[in-house]
Amino acid sequence: MFTSLYELWLGQNNDPIFADEIFTPVGMLTLLFALIVAAVFYLLLGRWKPVFDNTTHWIITLVVVAIFGFVYALQYAKDRTGADEADSYMQGFGGINALYAVIFFTIFSALLKRFSIFAKRTPF
């Protein structure tokens, strides 16, 4: 599933390692990371105390998730391919992964916010 999601935007890479060994674990971990961060935001902090619950906090979290998505994808691709420098495909992959991280986090936010107390209405 993740392979087609990434190749939809990036196209196929000549090196089959992206399809075979990179897209799925990066996609899975990005999804899991977005879920954990959303759970911390809405279920842990959002039910504990009103310390990190408003839209500004949510946007900060979103940016963190996006940065993680970009950096993690780029680093993982470099490690698996053994490249010294990130080429344009890898940078594109990082960017698209950041985009998916944002989308995943937004979806999890919509699903989990009802279980929160203080972030029940964040961000919408």
Partner 1 sequence: MKLFLFGIGGTGARVLRSLTMLLAAGAKTPADLTIIPILLDMDMQNGDTERSLRIVELYRTIRRGAYKDTAAQGGQSERRTFFATPMQPLGTLQADNAQERIGDSILPKLTEHQGTFEEFLNVSSLEDIDREFLKLFYDNSARPTSAELKLNLSVGFKGNPNIGSVVFNSLEDSAVYKYFTGAFNNETDRIFIISSIFGGTGSSGFPQLVKLLQHPSQKMPIRNARKGAVTVMPYFALEENAGSSIDQNRFLSKTKAALSYYQNQIQLDALYYIGDRPGAKLYPNVEGGSQQINNAHIVEMLAAEAVLNFAMTGNDDFGDNKRYYEYALRRNDRKLDLPHFHDNTYHNLLEPLIRFSYATKFFTDFVPANINEAFAKNLQLPQQLNTNTFYTSLRNFMSFHYKEWLRELAENDRSFNPFDLNAPYNSMVRSRQIETGFFNKGISDGFLKEQAGKAENTLQAAYPQPEMRFMQILIEVAERCREKLGPINRELADAVV
Joined tokens for residue 124: 């919408």
Q: Which of residues 31-70 bind partner 1 (CB under 8 A)?
A: 49-51, 53-54
Q: Considering beta carbons, is residue 46 or 92 the nearer one to partner 1?
A: 46
CB of 117 to partner 1, least distance (A): 5
Q: Considering beta carbons, is residue 111 or 121 the nearer one to partner 1?
A: 121
HSE, CB side, 13 Å, CA atoms: give it for residue 30.
Answer: 36
CB of 47 to partner 1, least distance (A): 8
CB of 115 to partner 1, least distance (A): 10
Contact with partner 1 (CB under 8 A) among 20, 36, 79, 121: 121
Q: Which of residues 100-119 bind partner 1 (CB under 8 A)?
A: 116-119
CB of 113 to partner 1, least distance (A): 9
Contact 94, 74 (CB under 8 A): yes
Q: Considering beta carbons, is residue 12 or 55 the nearer one to partner 1?
A: 55
| Backbone phi, psi, residue 42, to 5° | -90, -40
How many whole angstroms separate alpha carbon 113 and alpha carbon 110? Answer: 6
DSSP-derived secondary structure for 31-97: HHHHHHHHHIIIIIIHHH-TTS-SHHHHHHHHHHHHHHHHHHHHHHHHHHHT-SS--HHHHHHHHHH
Contacts to partner 1 by CB under 8 A: 49-51, 53-54, 116-122
